[in-house]
Amino acid sequence: MKMVVAYIRHEAFEPIREDLLHLGFPSLSISEVKGSGRQKGITEHYRGASVTNYLRPKIKLECTVSDGDVQTIVDAILKHARTGNVGDGKIFVMPVEQSYRIRTGESGEETLQVHAESDA
């Protein structure tokens, strides 16, 4: 199992969510975060004063899947999040030790996303 964590632009999330849903990956989390990349700050000018914002708002997307599904998730994110401009974001893939569905107490890969025999 792996958790795919992506820092993306807000506009990229909805098309990614739609693709993942249609591909059979409806289960994910997002949070609104602030971060910085290589460019560090962006300086804006307001009434003669220059203000540097070191943090930019991003969406943090987390989606945990079987190892064999990682590339599908990464490809969907790349497809919609890449504009070619700086600040498009980053994707990290992290190992996940275990998963539990709290309602049933089940564990393992079957709990991650939709499976044919499930009631989803």
Ligand X SMILES: Nc1ncnc2c1ncn2[C@@H]1O[C@H](COP(=O)(O)OP(=O)(O)OP(=O)(O)O)[C@@H](O)[C@H]1O
Residues that bind ligand X (CB under 6 A): 7, 33, 35-39, 56, 58, 86-90
Among 49, 86, 102, 116, binds Mg ion (CB under 5 A): 86
| Tokens (6 digits) for 78 | 């790349």
- The nearer residue to ligand X, 22 or 90, going by C-beta atoms, is 90
| Tokens (6 digits) for 79 | 């497809």
- The nearer residue to ligand X, 24 or 35, going by C-beta atoms, is 35
CB 4 within 8 A of CB 62: yes
- Alpha-helical runs (H) found in 3-110: 10-22, 70-81
- The nearer residue to ligand X, 58 or 113, going by C-beta atoms, is 58
